[in-house]
Amino acid sequence: MKFNKVSVIGLGYIGLPTAAVIASRGVEVVGIDVSELAVNTINQGKVHIVEPDLDMVVQAAVTMGKLRASMVPEPADAFMIAVPTPFKEGKQPDLSYIENAAKAIAPVLEQGNLVILESTSPVGATEKLTGWLQELRPDLVFPGHPSSEPNMFVAHCPERVLPGRVLEELVSNDRIIGGMRPQCSEQAIELYKVFVRGNCISTTARTAEMAKLTENSFRDVNIAFANELSIICDELKINVWELIALANRHPRVNILTPGPGVGGHCIAVDPWFIVDSAPESARMIRTAREVNDGKPGFVINKVEKAADEFKRPVIACLGLAFKPDIDDLRESPALDITLRLASAGVGKILAVEPNIRALPEKLANSGIELVSLEAALAQANIVVVLVNHKQFKGLDKSHFNTKVLIDSSGLIA
**In Å, what is the CA distance from 19 to each residue of 31, 264, 392?**
7, 21, 33
The answer for residues whose C-beta is within 8 angstroms of residue 23's C-beta and 6 or more apart is: 29, 61, 64, 66, 67
Nearest to 317 by CA among 366, 266, 273, 247: 366
User: CA 332, CA 353: separation in Å to the nearest integer?
Assistant: 12
Q: Are 332 and 320 in contact (CB under 8 A)?
A: yes
**Among 66, 157, 184, 266, the one annotated catalytic:** 266
* Residue 225 CB neighbour total at 10 angstroms: 14
Q: 397 an active-site residue? A: no
User: CA 57, CA 384: separation in Å to the nearest integer?
Assistant: 37
Nearest to 229 by CA among 155, 127, 282, 298: 298
Nearest to 39 by CA among 75, 11, 7: 11
Q: What are phi and psi of 37, to 5 degrees?
A: -60, -45
**Among 157, 184, 212, 295, the one annotated catalytic:** 212
Question: How far separated are the first and last CA of the chain, in Å rounded?
Answer: 55
Nearest to 271 by CA among 231, 213, 328: 213
Q: 200 an active-site residue? A: no
The answer for residues whose C-beta is within 8 angstroms of residue 364's C-beta and 6 or more apart is: 358, 370
The residues annotated with a catalytic role in the active site are 212, 266
